[in-house]
Amino acid sequence: KMINLSVPDTIDERAINKKKLTPFIIQENLNLALNSASAIGCHVVNIGAEDLREGKPHLVLGLLWQIIKIGLFADIELSRNEALAALLRDGENLEDLMKLSPEELLLRWANFHLENAGWHKISNFSSDIKDSRAYFHLLNQIAPKGQKEGEPQIVISMSGFNEKDDLRRAEYMLQQADRLGCRQFVTPADVVSGNPKLNLAFVANLFNKYPALTKPENQDIDWTLLEGETREERTFRNWMNSLGVNPHVNHLYGDLQDALVILQLYEKIKVPVDWNKVNKPPYPKLGANMKKLENCNYAVDLGKHPAKFSLVGIGGQDLNDGNPTLTLALVWQLMRRYTLNVLEDLGDGQKANDDIIVSWVNQTLKEAGKSTSIQNFKDKTISTSLAVVDLIDAIQPGCINYDLVKTGHLSEDDKQNNAKYAVSMARRIGARVYALPEDLVEVKPKMVMTVFACLMGRGMKRV
């Protein structure tokens, strides 16, 4: 339920086992939760269902924090919230703002309001907010002033501002936050101790409820830059983050411009990286781009030689420029190789490719007495998701509730419902599927391939 609150519709609730909760069924629910968390970009590489079942505190808390953070940060992004452009500083353009992480945007948002209040800036949400005074000013700035129609004024009392005791001052401040309906995530003690995660969550919640920003109208801002990310871009980004790359990827192209993340992904697909050849941040003020470009050139070289990717017409400069088409071409080949490697590990090193996956899928369906089959990953019949559903049932007989599956002549809604059920059931039986239901409905060949490959991997583990 928390995953669905953070990214709506990630899990089809029909796939959750709610009846007789035997250990096996609990295990399946935990698989569904972990594989879905991975699909929304949580790093779950070192967490298994048994860790959750045993309730290992640091692993459970770590996962919960990641899920909460994804939900809290969903709208702290320019394409979802154009009023953030009000935070532009002199000489900056939208691209500069788009490069900031959600944490950096939140800090800038808080400082924008603190500056208007005539209070000094803060540089973090831990030591700088311990005395609650910055929070008092922030609450006072963002509280509705009652100037808009249908928006009652909420007056923030600053009377606790001069309280001598830090804890009592924090309590007075939180009482005012409560008037905005925002007394969440922190206790007075959390504020005074400067707990970074909880205070970040507190501020993100304030932003989500009362951004108090006006979209700039008259400045010459190029709003066309604000195309939100495509589904494919988001899937690739979530895949990278679930593998635990550092830094966390917030913007697919901007965050790959020094190739550090790409080089980490090479290691994940068993292409050795000589880290002595890699320039690492912090980069020098002068010549920073040169250092990043050298990394990008190295990343393209690795792709051409040891990795044997098809990188015709792609140079380091393209990655460094954040060229979408060419960056995606490389990233897709990384994800594809990662998916195929999983199969090769299970198949004692036998090479895997599209034809092998298609024939395995059809063989498995046939052996289970199913009538569905696929010709290739572009096969239009995949849009019904029936082949995926049947394959899941062939891998784990009896797990699909066919009463929930629509057959015959399908409307778009029927297709979407089948796909949602298929993706969630694949995750429930233990396949780490990154693709989205829409990818099946629209038959996006790349993503379809990853779905069948993940299921094949799960199917080969049956022995």
- φ/ψ of residue 201, rounded to 5: -65, -40
DSSP for 154-223? -PPP-GGGG-SSHHHHHHHHHHHHHHTT---S--HHHHHHT-HHHHHHHHHHHHHH--------SS---G
Q: Average per-residue pLDDT in the chain?
A: 94
Instruction: Please state, as a whole number, how many other Cβ atoms lie within 10 Å of the Cβ of residue 320.
Output: 22
Closest by CA to 172, choosing from 191, 197, 196, 200, is 191
At CB < 8 A and 24+ separation, what contacts does 198-203 make?
199/125, 199/126, 199/129, 200/69, 200/103, 200/106, 200/125, 201/68, 201/69, 201/72, 202/177, 203/106, 203/110, 203/125, 203/138
Q: Which domains does the chain have, with CATH numbers?
A: 1-73 (1.10.418.10), 97-209 (1.10.418.10), 229-345 (1.10.418.10), 354-461 (1.10.418.10)
Between the ranges 88-92, 228-232, 303-307, where is the mean pLDDT highest?
Answer: 303-307
Is residue 463 scored above 50 in pLDDT?
no
Mean pLDDT in residue range 425-432:
95
pTM metric for this prediction: 0.89
Q: What is the pLDDT of residues 301-327, one digit of tens each?
A: 999 999 999 999 999 999 999 999 999
User: 10 Å Cβ neighbour count for 112?
Assistant: 19
Q: What is the mean predicted confidence (pLDDT) over 138-142?
A: 97
Q: Where are the beta strands (DSSP E) in 314-363?
A: none
Work out the angle at residue 57's Cα, subtended by the Cα atoms of residues 52 and 63, and round it to the nearest 5 degrees.
60
Q: What is the pLDDT of residues 241-284, one digit of tens each?
A: 999 999 999 999 999 999 999 999 999 999 999 999 999 999 99
Q: Which residue do the tokens 């010709």 mark?
A: 375
For the chain, the maximum distance between any two Cα atoms, rounded to a whole number of angstroms, is 76
- Per-residue pLDDT tens for 319-362? 999 999 999 999 999 999 999 998 888 877 778 899 999 999 99
Three-state SS sequence of 356-402: HHHHHHHHHHHHCCCCCCCCCCCCHHHHHCHHHHHHHHHHCCCCCCH
**pLDDT tens, residue by residue, 50-62:** 999 999 999 999 9
Nearest residue to 102 via CA among 245, 223, 249:
249
**Residue 145 neighbours by CB distance under 10 Å:** 12
Among 302, 300, 252, residue whose Cα is nearest residue 274: 302
